[in-house]
Amino acid sequence: MLLLKGLRATLVMFTFAFIANAGELEIEQCQELRGFLNSKLGDIDCLDQYHHFNSSGSRNFYTTQNSLTKRQVRISTFNVYQAGSTRTEFKDYELMAKMINHWDVIGTTELVNVIGIDKRHNEAVTNHYKKLLQHYRELVKTKAPKKEQSKVLSKISLLKKQYELPGYVKILTELQKLDPSWSLLLSGNTEGTKTATIRELSGYFYRSSSVKPVINEYCKKYYKFSKAYGCYPKFNKETYGHDVADLFARRPFIGSFKSGNFDFTLVTTHVVFNAPSDENLRKRIIKAAFGVDHYTEIGEGVTSRTYARFAEMTHILNFMRNYKMSFKENDLILLGDFNLEAKNPYWKALFDENPGMEIKIEGATSLSQSKTLSDGSSTHGTSNNYDHFVLDTKITSQCAGKKNAKIFNFLENSFRKLIDKKYLVRTDNAYVHPDTGLDMFYLDQKGKNKALKITEKIVKRLKSKYTVRRGEIVPRFDLEKKAEDVVRKLIEPQLFERSYYRYFQETISDHLPVFMNCSNQQDDD
């Protein structure tokens, strides 16, 4: 361990339960963002059901003819692992955007708003910004010396740059550098269980030169607003037959789009992972979804770990079946992080109730940090098979084909070279540490130099960050501590067999994106 302690010192020296309500509305956050962004990402619509970034993108970039010449629309789903959270402070948004840029519309989960210490920072910045702005106006009104006015203006300019942007805005900013037509249809509420430390958003990044949002019949009927491109299913007695909205950890988010001649509705979900411990809630969930009293009565494949997941999936598939019977649009595609394996036998029972439906993606899509399993076999960096598409390919024939849905494995494909070029520091030479007995990898001088450059670059960026404390603009970060964080999260884990793949999670995500290509030449409904 002396090697690691020495490395850390060198680098630092050189650089220094379920929801009871639908979730809190985020309109004020959206409006505040709109003010700070000042049209940098295009027009922003802030509505109850969704927020629309670069909302005029389709009007500016989309034509049916251009989308038809591409002959297909590329649909993906990607759990981006708490993009914007302080837990993922070293996420590489530039690389994420380069990956997302492979597709045309991406159902995205685990987007988060600015929370915690970042939220408090934003509040301090915003309050001081308003005070400085008022002070500047008074200086102009009283014709104070230009030098004094200029000094206040400089502070205003500096503060405006300090506003911490949510991860979804950072992704969109990088996407628009690659293609200015990129837009985002973002869910209007943050949602999560009562005990969740982070409440999530979901949404659709879409390339508006290839795809445009269209009115969703369900959203227009039940929410009655003009630009009804997306919304949450209500899951209440009026629309669903009985009230189950409070039994979802995170409700799915609907978005409707058109590419060429193909219009379709996406239903993005991040299904609950942990089942509730409260016995009464457990009974309510099971009774509402399956009509029985205990998970052992449901069917093969349903366990104490999976019953709540399949309960949410049951309600979503019921909603989709009812939707198809009530509205013209029949091309519904369910996508997202299901926290369920495709091989689970209970899918058969679900699809018996929903004829024609099938699940896509059977390979592992969650990341494993360890290089090997307990038996010594390789993990190849992946574990669970949780990310999927579910659709009826007889109805949505544009997306048919057994091999049409695929995993974008950034641990093995050419994209890994881009990640490793920026972040890989270890060698392939392994050894057993003499004191701890841990399997480890050597760090040569070339790797040490690269580790230094990675740390220096990140700390240099953080050096330009300021916050407000006691009415004064001061450096935001302790640079020495941040240098230690870089080493602890990005560098040191690479040297251990047990955290061999962790740097992929820190910089990109703990999930692999999945995708499928659909013809946009015709529409069947």
* Confidence category of residue 207, pLDDT binned at 50, 70, 90: very high
pLDDT at 22 over 80: no
The per-residue pLDDT for 118 is: 95
The per-residue pLDDT for 7 is: 52
Residue type, 476: R
Contact 451, 7 (CB under 8 A): yes
What residue ranges do the domains of the chain occupy? 2-15+430-500, 39-114+165-411+512-519, 119-160
Of 3.40.50.1440, 3.40.30.10, 3.40.640.10, 3.60.10.10, which CATH number belongs to 39-114+165-411+512-519?
Answer: 3.60.10.10
Helix-, strand-, coil-residue percentages of the chain, each rounded to 5: 40, 20, 40
Percent of the chain with pLDDT over 70: 95
* Confidence category of residue 16, pLDDT binned at 50, 70, 90: very low
E strand spans, 140-277: 182-187, 189-190, 201-207, 212-213, 230-231, 253-259, 262-270
pLDDT tens digits, one per residue of 426-474 = 999 999 999 998 999 999 999 999 999 999 999 999 999 999 999 999 9
pLDDT at 485 over 80: yes
pLDDT at 10 over 50: no
CA angle 346, 398, 264 (to 5 degrees): 80
* 401 vs 476: CA distance, rounded Å: 52
* Beta bridge partner(s), residue 106: 76, 205
* Confidence category of residue 5, pLDDT binned at 50, 70, 90: low
pLDDT at 235 over 90: yes
E strand spans, 118-193: 182-187, 189-190
- Is the entire prediction scored with pTM above 0.85? yes
> What are the structure tokens assigned to 234, written together?
């209500």
Residues 6+ apart with CB under 8 A from 482: 458, 459, 462
- Choose among 6, 7, 3: nearest CA to 448: 7
* Confidence category of residue 6, pLDDT binned at 50, 70, 90: low
Q: Mean pLDDT over all residues of the chain?
A: 93
* 228 vs 220: CA distance, rounded Å: 5
Residue type, 270: H
Residue type, 123: E
Residues 6+ apart with CB under 8 A from 81: 88, 91, 110, 505, 508, 509, 510, 511
